[in-house]
Amino acid sequence: MELARLTIHELQNGLKKREITIADIVRDVFKNIQKKEPQVNAYISVFEEEAIERAVELENNMGSEISVLYGIPIGVKDNIVTRGHETTCASKILLGYIPPYNATVVEKLISNGAIITGKTNMDEFAMGSSGEYSYFGPTRNPINTEYVPGGSSSGSAAAVAAGEAIAALGSDTGGSVRLPAAFCGVVGFKPTYGTISRYGLIAFASSLDQIGFLTKDVTDAAILYSLLGGFDPHDSTSFEIELPHWSEMVKEQKVKLKIGVPKEFMNEKVNPEIFKKVEDFISEAERYGHEIKEISLPHSEYAIETYYLIAMSEASSNLARYDGVRYGYRVESDDLEEMYVKTRTEGFGPEVKRRIMMGTFALSSGYYDAYYLTATKVRRLIKGDFIDAFKEIDVIIGPTSPEPPFKLGEKLSDPIFLYMTDVLTVTSNLAGLPSISIPLGFNSKGLPIGLQVIGNAFEDVKLLNAAYNFERIINS
């Protein structure tokens, strides 16, 4: 039995019955890492020795009642800080930075007995949609290594898909959990903004960033959310919420759902094979008794421009702290200004520099009102569209991406194309809504397709329950 291919709940069942050991699981995961990493490049750093030691410790202390995460190997995206382990955001400018503390989600993983496998690769500072913008080289899609895995949580999605982790943490600013999930054929869940702590997540765009999960199924996403979510006094954007046991989030649907299908998500801009897969699912959902309703989110037409203006502006502000003075990479110089310029020029990659410059321009005197301020007003309109829609429906569905995975290097010279791959995911971030991508099969080239399900704010449990039942329809 290949244990690395099993889900969290399947492995936990085996552990409780004493059919397998924690060492068996860890050994199988690291066997895959050793075998597949030369091709996939899902990790920046691997904690094999530490993981084996922790497996022995957990096995020796294992009681009759254990957390569902006990002994489960989980990858952590390299923009989520880990005490004593280098955290780089896949950027040269943070080489050598070893955080003195753990992110809240990492502390919760450890307290629940999880085993951290290592820090997963990503687009530099989470800025990218393909997984090709890492200082440590691109991640490859384990389904077909000629293709991109999606970004920016490229390593986390690839690690789960390749059996190099049972599950993984990612971050989602405009689709960075859901897009790679769709491209790699796994589940990617982004909770409501504020329901899971961002303390210890290195900021890209603070009003959009959200920690999320890459898993093999919806049940595993519910497990991670129930144990890692909730209020955190260290995070000023955190909300007081009560989360039920994960089993309450994934139950057979008794009440049929009203499902909204935005006409702006299903149009001629969507790849025909993806369009057909979503259409077929809609027909199946109707056959199961769910009510389908066409809706409109009229201001989503402006979502990409709005998202990138806000995200780049916030990135310009957040990344100003990387100057070579306090930590990370530094170019030595007798002249302070020259040191700043050379450090940032050499330390940041081309995509990060492009976004910093665009954000700085949008915030500059004479342009602030025309760009950034206008974008924040449109953001409110986009959120208003969702508020109106959820008065009549339970969840919204559509494709996760308008395009299937593309070949490595094929679109690197076309940043507009890469930005547009986020066109169906950014609205959830702008409105702060929970959203999940679940596998919807494959196209004619054998590449994965994702179905995106969006829920109303703070109705994450309802969304997970819907996604669990949609998963059952797809797999039936």
Q: 335 and 110 in contact (C-beta within 8 Å)?
A: no
User: Pick the catalytic residue: 91, 129, 134, 152?
Assistant: 152
The CA distances from residue 394 to 212, 390, 451, 465, in Å, are 22, 6, 16, 11
State both tokens at 336. Answer: 């302070």
- Residue 152: active-site member: yes
Counted residue by residue, the chain has a size of 476
DSSP-based helix, strand, coil % in the chain, nearest 5: 40, 15, 45
End-to-end C-alpha distance for the chain, whole angstroms? 24
Residue of 129, 130, 154, 176 with catalytic role? 176
**Up-side HSE of residue 222: CA atoms within 13 Å toward CB?**
24
Catalytic-residue membership of 207 = no
456 contacts: CB under 8 Å, gap ≥ 6 = 386, 390, 433, 462
187 - beta bridge partners?
215
| CA distances from residue 198 to 105, 188, 233, 250, 460 in whole angstroms, order as listed | 8, 17, 11, 25, 17
Backbone angles phi, psi at 435, to 5 degrees: -155, 145
Residue-by-residue DSSP string for 270-291: S-HHHHHHHHHHHHHHHHTTPE
Given the residues 77, 108, 119, 277, select the one marked as catalytic: 77
Give alpha helix (H) positions in 288-319: 303-318
Which residues are marked as active site?
77, 152, 176
